[in-house]
Amino acid sequence: MSASSAIAAGREAAEREFIDTFTAYEPDGTTTDANGFKQPGFTDRGATPGKVQADTRQGDTADRFVTVGDAERPVHSGGLHLPIGAPIPAVGWEYECTALGPLSDPSLLGRRWRVVSVPAKTYATARRLDVVEVS
């Protein structure tokens, strides 16, 4: 089997596990809420299948933290898996779980994660984003 067909097979296998749907949001400045406070603004960049999973090397616990607003949040390394063909996000994009697969934990629905790193590698079978949960 050639390297390209092995990668294609790996991508197909990874994408079969993407049973949840995530809507991507790109930051686009700020908006003002009803109370006059500035809030981050976002542009909807569409939905993509994916899954939430901890890096297998670290189990279910995070090993580093980042500051989001005034709060320290744990980083989930490789925590959000998306198809390699999905739009490439940048740090600051957010993904909200908007639909669940039949085997998913119902508590994922409506949760939102901010991208803190977009690792890339040769022979990737999926895009594994480092994220922090923001809601």
d(CA 66, CA 134): 11
Which domains, ranges and CATH numbers included, belong to the chain?
3-133 (2.40.10)
DSSP string, 16-58: HT--EEEEEEEEEEEEE-TTS-EEEEEEEEEEEEEEE---TTT
Dihedral class, residue 40 (left if φ above 0, else alpha if ψ from -120 to 50, else beta):
beta
Q: What would the pLDDT profile of 47-105 be if each residue is shown by its tens digit?
A: 999 999 865 555 555 567 777 777 787 777 778 999 999 999 999 999 999 999 999 99
Q: Name the most confidently modeled range: 3-7, 44-48, 75-79, 127-131.
A: 44-48
Average pLDDT across the chain, whole number: 87
d(CA 46, CA 132): 20
